[in-house]
Structure 1
Amino acid sequence: MPRFLIRLAVSAYQRLCRALWFFTRPHSQGVQAVVRTPGGNVVLVRLSYRAGWHLPGGGVKRGETPEAAMLRELREEIGLASHTSIRQADRFEHVIDFKRDTVRVFLVEGAVYRPARSLEIEAVAAFAADALPEGLGSRARRFVERVGG
Protein backbone atom coordinates (compact mmCIF):
# COMPACT_ATOMS: atom_id res chain seq x y z
CA MET A 1 0.00 0.00 0.00
CA PRO A 2 1.45 3.43 -0.88
CA ARG A 3 2.76 5.39 2.11
CA PHE A 4 0.48 8.38 1.46
CA LEU A 5 -2.60 6.14 1.79
CA ILE A 6 -1.34 4.76 5.10
CA ARG A 7 -0.69 8.31 6.36
CA LEU A 8 -4.17 9.35 5.20
CA ALA A 9 -5.85 6.42 6.97
CA VAL A 10 -3.95 6.92 10.24
CA SER A 11 -4.60 10.68 10.15
CA ALA A 12 -8.32 10.10 9.51
CA TYR A 13 -8.46 7.70 12.46
CA GLN A 14 -6.77 10.27 14.71
CA ARG A 15 -9.24 12.98 13.61
CA LEU A 16 -12.15 10.65 14.34
CA CYS A 17 -10.77 9.95 17.82
CA ARG A 18 -10.37 13.69 18.51
CA ALA A 19 -13.99 14.29 17.45
CA LEU A 20 -15.19 11.57 19.82
CA TRP A 21 -13.02 12.94 22.64
CA PHE A 22 -14.58 16.39 22.14
CA PHE A 23 -17.85 14.92 23.43
CA THR A 24 -16.60 12.35 25.95
CA ARG A 25 -13.63 14.28 27.49
CA PRO A 26 -11.88 11.10 28.71
CA HIS A 27 -9.07 10.92 31.25
CA SER A 28 -6.19 8.79 30.04
CA GLN A 29 -2.91 7.52 31.40
CA GLY A 30 0.14 7.78 29.20
CA VAL A 31 3.86 7.11 29.20
CA GLN A 32 6.84 8.62 27.42
CA ALA A 33 10.52 7.78 27.63
CA VAL A 34 13.86 9.41 27.27
CA VAL A 35 15.64 6.38 25.81
CA ARG A 36 19.44 6.33 25.90
CA THR A 37 21.61 3.91 23.96
CA PRO A 38 24.73 2.34 25.49
CA GLY A 39 26.68 5.12 23.71
CA GLY A 40 24.55 7.82 25.35
CA ASN A 41 22.50 8.86 22.31
CA VAL A 42 18.78 9.66 22.68
CA VAL A 43 16.31 7.58 20.63
CA LEU A 44 13.43 9.52 19.03
CA VAL A 45 10.56 8.59 16.73
CA ARG A 46 8.82 10.32 13.84
CA LEU A 47 5.10 9.49 13.76
CA SER A 48 2.98 9.02 10.65
CA TYR A 49 0.17 11.22 12.02
CA ARG A 50 2.12 14.08 13.64
CA ALA A 51 4.90 16.33 12.37
CA GLY A 52 8.37 16.37 13.91
CA TRP A 53 10.34 14.10 16.22
CA HIS A 54 8.93 12.79 19.51
CA LEU A 55 9.82 10.78 22.57
CA PRO A 56 8.50 7.23 22.19
CA GLY A 57 5.45 6.44 24.26
CA GLY A 58 1.76 5.78 24.31
CA GLY A 59 -1.18 4.77 26.45
CA VAL A 60 -1.43 2.62 29.54
CA LYS A 61 -3.91 -0.23 29.07
CA ARG A 62 -6.40 -1.25 31.75
CA GLY A 63 -4.67 -3.38 34.39
CA GLU A 64 -1.19 -2.51 33.10
CA THR A 65 1.43 -0.76 35.23
CA PRO A 66 3.02 2.38 33.73
CA GLU A 67 6.42 0.66 33.62
CA ALA A 68 5.00 -2.36 31.78
CA ALA A 69 3.19 -0.01 29.38
CA MET A 70 6.42 1.85 28.70
CA LEU A 71 8.34 -1.32 27.91
CA ARG A 72 5.49 -2.57 25.67
CA GLU A 73 5.41 0.75 23.79
CA LEU A 74 9.19 0.66 23.33
CA ARG A 75 9.03 -2.87 21.92
CA GLU A 76 6.27 -1.76 19.51
CA GLU A 77 7.68 1.63 18.50
CA ILE A 78 11.46 1.22 18.40
CA GLY A 79 11.90 -2.54 18.56
CA LEU A 80 13.45 -2.50 22.05
CA ALA A 81 15.53 -5.66 22.42
CA SER A 82 17.14 -4.98 25.81
CA HIS A 83 17.91 -2.27 28.34
CA THR A 84 19.99 -1.95 31.48
CA SER A 85 17.64 0.14 33.64
CA ILE A 86 14.31 1.94 33.72
CA ARG A 87 13.04 4.45 36.25
CA GLN A 88 10.24 6.95 36.42
CA ALA A 89 11.77 10.40 36.14
CA ASP A 90 8.78 12.74 36.03
CA ARG A 91 5.00 13.04 35.84
CA PHE A 92 2.80 15.74 34.33
CA GLU A 93 -0.81 16.38 33.47
CA HIS A 94 -2.17 18.18 30.43
CA VAL A 95 -5.14 18.42 28.12
CA ILE A 96 -4.49 17.35 24.55
CA ASP A 97 -7.05 16.71 21.83
CA PHE A 98 -9.88 17.26 24.37
CA LYS A 99 -8.72 14.53 26.75
CA ARG A 100 -7.12 14.95 30.15
CA ASP A 101 -3.88 13.05 30.19
CA THR A 102 -1.62 12.03 33.07
CA VAL A 103 1.79 11.15 31.65
CA ARG A 104 4.67 9.45 33.40
CA VAL A 105 8.09 10.03 31.88
CA PHE A 106 10.70 7.29 32.21
CA LEU A 107 14.44 7.25 31.71
CA VAL A 108 15.49 4.04 29.97
CA GLU A 109 19.23 3.45 29.90
CA GLY A 110 21.38 1.11 27.84
CA ALA A 111 18.68 0.53 25.22
CA VAL A 112 19.46 -1.78 22.33
CA TYR A 113 16.81 -1.58 19.63
CA ARG A 114 15.97 -2.91 16.17
CA PRO A 115 13.30 -0.79 14.45
CA ALA A 116 10.59 -2.69 12.61
CA ARG A 117 8.17 -1.47 9.95
CA SER A 118 5.04 0.10 11.41
CA LEU A 119 1.98 2.04 10.28
CA GLU A 120 2.43 4.43 13.20
CA ILE A 121 6.21 5.00 13.16
CA GLU A 122 7.85 6.49 10.08
CA ALA A 123 11.38 6.67 11.47
CA VAL A 124 13.45 5.78 14.52
CA ALA A 125 16.83 7.45 15.05
CA ALA A 126 19.35 8.10 17.80
CA PHE A 127 20.79 11.58 18.33
CA ALA A 128 23.49 13.01 20.56
CA ALA A 129 21.83 14.79 23.50
CA ASP A 130 23.58 18.02 22.51
CA ALA A 131 22.52 17.70 18.84
CA LEU A 132 18.78 16.99 18.98
CA PRO A 133 16.92 17.43 15.69
CA GLU A 134 14.81 20.36 14.58
CA GLY A 135 11.15 19.57 15.07
CA LEU A 136 11.54 18.12 18.56
CA GLY A 137 9.00 19.83 20.83
CA SER A 138 10.12 22.04 23.69
CA ARG A 139 8.63 19.77 26.39
CA ALA A 140 10.46 16.70 25.02
CA ARG A 141 13.66 18.74 24.71
CA ARG A 142 13.36 19.80 28.38
CA PHE A 143 12.85 16.19 29.48
CA VAL A 144 15.95 15.09 27.56
CA GLU A 145 17.97 17.89 29.16
CA ARG A 146 16.59 17.29 32.66
CA VAL A 147 16.50 13.50 32.93
CA GLY A 148 18.62 12.11 30.16
CA GLY A 149 20.96 14.77 28.86
Structure 2
Amino acid sequence: MSPEKLIRKVLQRYWRHSRGLTLGAQGAVLDNENRVLLIRHTYRPGWHFPGGGVEKNETVEDALRRELHEEAGIELTGPPELFGLFANHRLFPNDHIALFVVRAWRQPVVPKPNAEIAEQRMFPWNALPDAISPPTRERIHEIIESRPPSLHWSP
Protein backbone atom coordinates (compact mmCIF):
# COMPACT_ATOMS: atom_id res chain seq x y z
CA MET A 1 0.00 0.00 0.00
CA SER A 2 1.37 3.41 -0.94
CA PRO A 3 2.11 5.97 1.81
CA GLU A 4 -0.68 8.20 0.46
CA LYS A 5 -3.28 5.42 0.73
CA LEU A 6 -2.09 4.51 4.22
CA ILE A 7 -2.33 8.13 5.40
CA ARG A 8 -5.81 8.44 3.85
CA LYS A 9 -7.01 5.26 5.59
CA VAL A 10 -5.68 6.41 8.97
CA LEU A 11 -7.29 9.84 8.59
CA GLN A 12 -10.59 8.34 7.48
CA ARG A 13 -10.72 6.11 10.56
CA TYR A 14 -9.96 9.09 12.76
CA TRP A 15 -12.69 11.18 11.09
CA ARG A 16 -15.25 8.36 11.39
CA HIS A 17 -14.74 8.28 15.14
CA SER A 18 -14.31 12.00 15.75
CA ARG A 19 -17.01 13.38 13.42
CA GLY A 20 -20.47 12.22 12.50
CA LEU A 21 -20.30 14.21 9.30
CA THR A 22 -17.48 15.76 7.32
CA LEU A 23 -17.89 18.83 5.15
CA GLY A 24 -15.53 20.22 2.57
CA ALA A 25 -15.52 23.53 0.72
CA GLN A 26 -14.21 23.75 -2.83
CA GLY A 27 -14.03 26.61 -5.30
CA ALA A 28 -14.54 26.60 -9.05
CA VAL A 29 -12.39 29.68 -9.65
CA LEU A 30 -13.21 31.11 -13.09
CA ASP A 31 -11.72 34.06 -14.94
CA ASN A 32 -13.44 36.32 -17.51
CA GLU A 33 -12.70 33.80 -20.29
CA ASN A 34 -14.22 30.90 -18.30
CA ARG A 35 -10.84 29.37 -17.69
CA VAL A 36 -10.87 27.35 -14.48
CA LEU A 37 -8.16 27.09 -11.84
CA LEU A 38 -7.21 23.51 -11.04
CA ILE A 39 -4.84 22.07 -8.47
CA ARG A 40 -2.69 18.95 -8.70
CA HIS A 41 -1.95 17.55 -5.24
CA THR A 42 1.11 15.59 -4.21
CA TYR A 43 -0.92 12.93 -2.39
CA ARG A 44 -3.62 11.98 -4.95
CA PRO A 45 -3.74 11.70 -8.72
CA GLY A 46 -5.45 14.09 -11.09
CA TRP A 47 -6.48 17.73 -11.21
CA HIS A 48 -9.06 19.05 -8.74
CA PHE A 49 -10.68 22.25 -7.56
CA PRO A 50 -8.84 23.96 -4.70
CA GLY A 51 -10.47 23.36 -1.35
CA GLY A 52 -10.49 21.35 1.83
CA GLY A 53 -12.25 20.54 5.05
CA VAL A 54 -14.35 22.86 7.16
CA GLU A 55 -12.81 23.06 10.63
CA LYS A 56 -14.58 23.48 13.98
CA ASN A 57 -15.85 27.02 14.60
CA GLU A 58 -15.46 27.85 10.90
CA THR A 59 -18.18 28.67 8.40
CA VAL A 60 -18.11 26.93 5.05
CA GLU A 61 -17.34 30.27 3.37
CA ASP A 62 -14.50 30.93 5.83
CA ALA A 63 -13.09 27.47 4.99
CA LEU A 64 -13.33 28.28 1.28
CA ARG A 65 -11.47 31.57 1.75
CA ARG A 66 -8.77 29.88 3.85
CA GLU A 67 -8.28 26.97 1.45
CA LEU A 68 -8.19 29.18 -1.66
CA HIS A 69 -5.54 31.33 -0.03
CA GLU A 70 -3.45 28.42 1.29
CA GLU A 71 -3.54 26.31 -1.86
CA ALA A 72 -3.59 28.91 -4.62
CA GLY A 73 -2.90 32.38 -3.23
CA ILE A 74 -6.45 33.40 -4.20
CA GLU A 75 -8.18 36.26 -2.39
CA LEU A 76 -11.91 36.78 -2.87
CA THR A 77 -12.91 40.29 -3.96
CA GLY A 78 -16.63 39.55 -3.97
CA PRO A 79 -19.00 36.94 -2.59
CA PRO A 80 -18.70 33.38 -3.91
CA GLU A 81 -21.85 31.72 -5.27
CA LEU A 82 -22.87 28.41 -3.72
CA PHE A 83 -23.35 26.09 -6.70
CA GLY A 84 -24.35 22.96 -4.83
CA LEU A 85 -24.00 20.68 -1.86
CA PHE A 86 -22.89 17.21 -2.95
CA ALA A 87 -22.87 13.87 -1.17
CA ASN A 88 -19.40 12.34 -1.50
CA HIS A 89 -19.89 8.85 -0.12
CA ARG A 90 -17.26 7.09 -2.23
CA LEU A 91 -14.51 7.37 0.43
CA PHE A 92 -16.51 8.20 3.56
CA PRO A 93 -20.23 7.53 4.10
CA ASN A 94 -21.05 10.92 5.65
CA ASP A 95 -18.88 13.27 3.56
CA HIS A 96 -20.33 16.28 1.75
CA ILE A 97 -18.78 18.95 -0.46
CA ALA A 98 -20.02 22.52 -0.79
CA LEU A 99 -18.93 23.79 -4.20
CA PHE A 100 -18.77 27.53 -4.80
CA VAL A 101 -18.36 29.37 -8.08
CA VAL A 102 -15.76 32.09 -7.61
CA ARG A 103 -15.72 34.85 -10.24
CA ALA A 104 -14.56 37.83 -8.16
CA TRP A 105 -10.98 37.17 -7.10
CA ARG A 106 -7.37 38.19 -7.37
CA GLN A 107 -4.12 36.29 -7.04
CA PRO A 108 -1.40 38.66 -5.83
CA VAL A 109 1.11 35.81 -5.45
CA VAL A 110 1.19 32.34 -6.98
CA PRO A 111 2.46 30.01 -4.25
CA LYS A 112 5.42 27.81 -5.10
CA PRO A 113 4.86 24.04 -5.15
CA ASN A 114 5.03 22.52 -1.67
CA ALA A 115 4.43 19.27 0.21
CA GLU A 116 0.67 19.43 -0.53
CA ILE A 117 0.33 21.25 -3.88
CA ALA A 118 2.45 20.05 -6.79
CA GLU A 119 1.04 22.46 -9.35
CA GLN A 120 -1.76 24.89 -10.17
CA ARG A 121 -2.87 26.06 -13.57
CA MET A 122 -5.73 27.80 -15.38
CA PHE A 123 -7.38 25.68 -18.08
CA PRO A 124 -9.96 26.63 -20.72
CA TRP A 125 -13.20 24.92 -19.67
CA ASN A 126 -13.39 23.17 -23.05
CA ALA A 127 -9.72 22.00 -23.02
CA LEU A 128 -9.40 20.38 -19.61
CA PRO A 129 -6.45 18.07 -18.86
CA ASP A 130 -6.87 14.36 -19.48
CA ALA A 131 -5.90 13.64 -15.87
CA ILE A 132 -8.72 15.72 -14.36
CA SER A 133 -10.83 13.92 -11.77
CA PRO A 134 -14.16 12.88 -13.34
CA PRO A 135 -16.32 14.66 -10.71
CA THR A 136 -14.35 17.89 -11.22
CA ARG A 137 -14.87 17.65 -15.00
CA GLU A 138 -18.60 17.02 -14.50
CA ARG A 139 -19.02 20.00 -12.12
CA ILE A 140 -17.25 22.31 -14.60
CA HIS A 141 -19.63 21.27 -17.38
CA GLU A 142 -22.64 21.71 -15.08
CA ILE A 143 -21.49 25.25 -14.24
CA ILE A 144 -20.55 26.40 -17.75
CA GLU A 145 -23.52 24.76 -19.48
CA SER A 146 -25.98 25.94 -16.78
CA ARG A 147 -27.02 22.36 -16.06
CA PRO A 148 -28.59 21.47 -12.71
CA PRO A 149 -25.98 20.07 -10.35
CA SER A 150 -26.00 16.39 -9.45
CA LEU A 151 -26.78 15.39 -5.87
CA HIS A 152 -23.65 13.23 -5.71
CA TRP A 153 -20.02 14.22 -6.22
CA SER A 154 -19.17 10.90 -7.92
CA PRO A 155 -21.47 8.70 -9.98
Which TM bucket (shorter chain)? 0.7 to 0.9
Q: State the percentage of identical aligned residues.
A: 28
The answer on whether the counterparts of 2:74 and 2:106 sit within 8 Å (CA) in structure 1 is yes
TM-score, normalised relative to structure 2: 0.78
**3-state SS, counterpart of residue 120 of structure 2:** strand
Shift of 1:112: 2.6
Output the CA distance in 2 between the equivalents of 1:24 and 1:66.
19
Output the CA distance in 2 between the equivalents of 1:85 and 1:16.
35
Residue segments in structure 2 that go unaligned for 5+ positions in a row:
146-155
User: Which of structures 1 and 2 has the larger relative contact order (alpha carbons within 8 angstroms, sep 6+)?
Assistant: 1
The answer on whether the counterparts of 2:30 and 2:103 sit within 8 Å (CA) in structure 1 is yes
| Paired amino acid for 2:124 | A
Shift of 1:35: 0.5
Output the CA distance in 2 between the equivalents of 1:36 and 1:135.
19
Shift of 1:65: 1.2
Deviations 1:119-143 (A, max 9, x none): 1110000000110111112211121
Root-mean-square deviation (CA, aligned residues, Å) is 2.4
| 1:43 is the counterpart of 2:37 | yes
Q: Residues 11 and 67 of structure 1: is their aligned pair in 2 closer, same or farther, counting only changes over 3 Å?
A: same
Output the CA distance in 2 between the equivalents of 1:28 and 1:52.
22
Q: Identify which of 122, 127, 130 aligns with 1:131.
A: 127
Q: Identify which of 139, 144, 152 aligns with 1:143.
A: 139
Q: Identify which of 62, 77, 84 aligns with 2:71.
A: 77
Deviations 1:9-36 (A, max 9, x none): 7665334213445666741011111111
User: Where is the helix percentage greater, Structure 1 or Structure 2?
Assistant: 1
Q: 1:94: which partner in 2?
A: 88
Name the stretch that deviates more: 118-127 or 104-113.
Answer: 104-113
| Paired amino acid for 1:147 | I
| 1:115 is the counterpart of 2:120 | no
**3-state SS, counterpart of residue 97 of structure 1:** coil
Output the CA distance in 2 between the equivalents of 1:84 and 1:107.
11
Shift of 1:64: 1.2
Shift of 1:86: 1.1
The answer on whether the counterparts of 1:53 and 1:136 sit within 8 Å (CA) in structure 2 is yes
Q: Residues 24 and 95 of structure 1: is their aligned pair in 2 closer, same or farther, counting only changes over 3 Å?
A: farther
Q: 2:54: which partner in 1?
A: 60
Output the CA distance in 2 between the equivalents of 1:70 and 1:10.
24
| Number of positions where the alignment pairs a residue of Structure 1 with one of Structure 2 | 142
